[in-house]
Structure 1
Amino acid sequence: MLSWLKKWYHHKFSDPQVVVLFLMLLLGFLSIYWLGRILAPLLVAIAFAYLLEWPVARLTKLGLSRTISTSLVVSTFIGLSTMVLMWTMPLFWHQGRTLLRDMPQMIEQGRQYLLELPEAFPGVISAEQVNIFMQSVDERLMAFGRDMLSLSLASIVDLVALMIYLILVPLLVFFMLKDKELLMQRFAALLPTERKLIGQVWQEMNFQIMNYIRGKILEILIVGAVSYAVFALFGLNYPLLLGVLVGFSVLIPYIGAAVVTLPIALVALFQWGFSPQFGYLMLAYAVIQALDGNLLVPLLFSEVIDLHPVYIIVAVLFFGGMFGFWGIFFAIPLASLVKATINAWSTRVQPAMEAAE
């Protein structure tokens, strides 16, 4: 057994490039794990830089300088984002206040539904089970209220952090796009001279990350906008809040769609009860999810996602548990990075094994 382990180690890690690649990956993961909060503005800027690289590259090909192209794209993106926020934030704020105002009535209506369950399903659900469930819900609501109070007390700190983001992120994005070649050269100078394996993994991942971020942002916008339009057309309460929720749910493949169904169904149930309109709305929502999973995702990510659904779910759970939101957002690229590393490692090791034999 010991000799087999020695032979396996010699075959797999005898190449210095393999060792350097694994050390770099380990250092990167540990840095994000321990310094995630500090590096958050940098991660946000990297995501936006990847998103805006495509239009900057197209303008550069038309003959504009890199600086002018970056200035035009970044200023246009900031202007459009500001206009969208100025339109959506008042609606978002109004619907949020309306939801808080209607919450007691919704909770009371939910109690009435629950109290009717023992009569509707005798022998299956007892009144004692309903009382225990309602007590648990009350405790969770009280905990949620305390969390909201503590969050409001820390709002000044959050406001300062938001202002820092609003200043630092656009500056980082601008310089990352404008000085992309210079930054890449400086970074490459820090790497070992023998970096063919690292370059092979980097070329594959750079293409995949760029397409993934662009596709994921487009998916969030399309799914969120279509959901908002459908909810508003049906006259559902809080359509913008729920539309934004559905849009961001696509960040978590498979799991997000299942989780976000609950608040939509509850709001529709409290508004209409078990009526035909409730059924039509849930059917329309199911159509949106089906079109997203079977049409939009293959169209946007046909060249990016080449992973089994089980691997994707495991990646979301693993990297989300390690890195929080950014782990969830980059779960698929990180899983693709692991796959690309294994593929490059295998192709690198196999010739060495054959030569040794």
Structure 2
Amino acid sequence: MFRLFERWYKRKFSDPDSAMLLIMLLVSSLLLLMWGGILMPAIVAAVIAYLLDWPVSKLAAMGLSRGLATILVMCGFVSVCILTFIGVVPVITQQSINLIKETPQIWAGGQDWLLHLPEHYPELVQLTHIQNMLDGVNVKIVAFAEKLLSASFSSLAGIGMLLIYLILVPLMVFFMLKDKTELVQNFTGLLPTERRLIKQVGTEMNTQIANYIRGKVTEIIIVGAVSAITFAFMDLRYALLLGVLVGFSVLIPYIGAAVVTIPVAIVALFQWGISPEFWYLMVAYGIIQALDGNVLVPILFSEAVSLHPIYIIIAVLFFGGLWGFWGVFFAIPLATLVKAVSSAWSGPKPADPVAQV
């Protein structure tokens, strides 16, 4: 067994570039695990910088200086954020409050429907089973409400962190965009000389992450806007709130679409019951999801490395468990990183006869 492992190690890591790539990955993972929370503002700034680098580069290519292009793009980005906060956030907040107020009525209606099931299907459903299930669910709801209330009080301490994000993140984004070339050169200077595979994987991942962030943000905006407009056109209550939820659900491939269907269906069922309007809405929602998965995603992510759905789901579960929201957000790029590293280690070495042919 030891010799088998030794042969595998020599085959994979006899090349100094492979060993340096492994060390680079281990050091990066250790830094994220130990100081990921402290570095989170920098990670958020890097995500925004990846998003805004494309318009800055286009303006620079038109003849503007990198600094002026950065200032123009940052002003536009901040203006959009402010307008969104002023125009959309208050509506979403009010709809959220109204939905929370009506949640007891929705739950009461659901309990009443469940308790009447034994009358219609006495051979399949027993009243005692329904009552036991509802008692258990009610206990869990009370416990969840207590945790939510305590979390809301503890989150007051996060106001200071929010101010840090509002001040530091825009500054870091500005300098990341303005001094991109200098920062990349400084980082490259820290890398070891044996960096052929590091450069290979880094170049591939830089393109993948940039395309992914721009594509994912575009997908969130398009799917969320189309869903909100469709819900409002069909006169569904809480249309904007549910549209935003549908938009953000695309962050979690496959799982998000299934989970967000529940609140959409519950609100529609509470508003219309089992009626033609309910089924019209569910058909329209299904069409949106189908167009997103079969038309929008292939267009936005045409340059992305194809990954099997099972690998994507495993990546979402694994990296989401490690780093929460950002782990879920970067699940696909991180899965692509694993694939790129595996391909780099499995590929021919420069001295191999195969590589020379």
TM-score, normalised to structure 2, is 0.96
Secondary structure of the residue aligned to 1:154 is helix
Task: Give 1:108-123 correspondences, 5 Å limit.
Answer: 108-123=108-123
Task: Give 1:157-196 correspondences, 5 Å limit.
Answer: 157-196=157-196
Aligned letter for 1:286?
G
- After TM superposition, give the deviation of residue 314 of structure 1 in Å: 1.2
Task: Give 1:1-357 correspondences, 5 Å limit.
Answer: 1-349=1-349, 352=352
Choose 315-324 or 50-59, whichever is displaced more: 315-324
- After TM superposition, give the deviation of residue 351 of structure 1 in Å: 5.0
Aligned letter for 1:319?
F
Partner Cα separation in structure 1 for residue 129 and residue 308 of structure 2: 40
- After TM superposition, give the deviation of residue 36 of structure 1 in Å: 2.2
- After TM superposition, give the deviation of residue 140 of structure 1 in Å: 2.1
- After TM superposition, give the deviation of residue 16 of structure 1 in Å: 1.3
Partner Cα separation in structure 2 for residue 252 and residue 8 of structure 1: 36
- After TM superposition, give the deviation of residue 52 of structure 1 in Å: 0.3
Structure 1 residues not aligned, in runs of 5+: none
**Structure 1 residues 326 and 353 mapped into 2: Cα distance closer, same or farther (>3 Å)?**
farther
- After TM superposition, give the deviation of residue 354 of structure 1 in Å: 6.3
Partner deviation per Cα, 1:274-308 (whole Å, 9 max, x = no partner): 00100000000000000000000000001014111
Secondary structure of the residue aligned to 2:191 is coil
Counterpart contact for 1:305–1:332, Cα < 8 Å? no
Counterpart contact for 2:20–2:194, Cα < 8 Å? no
Structure 2 residues not aligned, in runs of 5+: none
- After TM superposition, give the deviation of residue 35 of structure 1 in Å: 2.1
Aligned letter for 2:260?
V
Secondary structure of the residue aligned to 2:116 is helix
Counterpart contact for 1:11–1:349, Cα < 8 Å? no
Partner deviation per Cα, 1:18-48 (whole Å, 9 max, x = no partner): 1111111122122222322212111111110
Partner Cα separation in structure 1 for residue 102 and residue 271 of structure 2: 11
**Would you identify which runs of 4 or more consecutive aligned residues in structure 1 move more than 6 Å?**
none
**Structure 1 residues 22 and 272 mapped into 2: Cα distance closer, same or farther (>3 Å)?**
same
- After TM superposition, give the deviation of residue 220 of structure 1 in Å: 0.4
Partner Cα separation in structure 2 for residue 6 and residue 115 of structure 1: 65
Partner Cα separation in structure 2 for residue 136 and residue 127 of structure 1: 14
Counterpart contact for 1:118–1:126, Cα < 8 Å? yes
Counterpart contact for 2:348–2:354, Cα < 8 Å? no
**Structure 1 residues 6 and 123 mapped into 2: Cα distance closer, same or farther (>3 Å)?**
same
Partner Cα separation in structure 2 for residue 319 and residue 197 of structure 1: 24
- After TM superposition, give the deviation of residue 222 of structure 1 in Å: 0.5
What is the percentage of aligned positions where both structures have the same residue? 54
Partner deviation per Cα, 1:68-127 (whole Å, 9 max, x = no partner): 111110111010111011101111121112112212211111111111111222222211
Q: CA RMSD in A?
A: 1.5
- After TM superposition, give the deviation of residue 144 of structure 1 in Å: 2.4
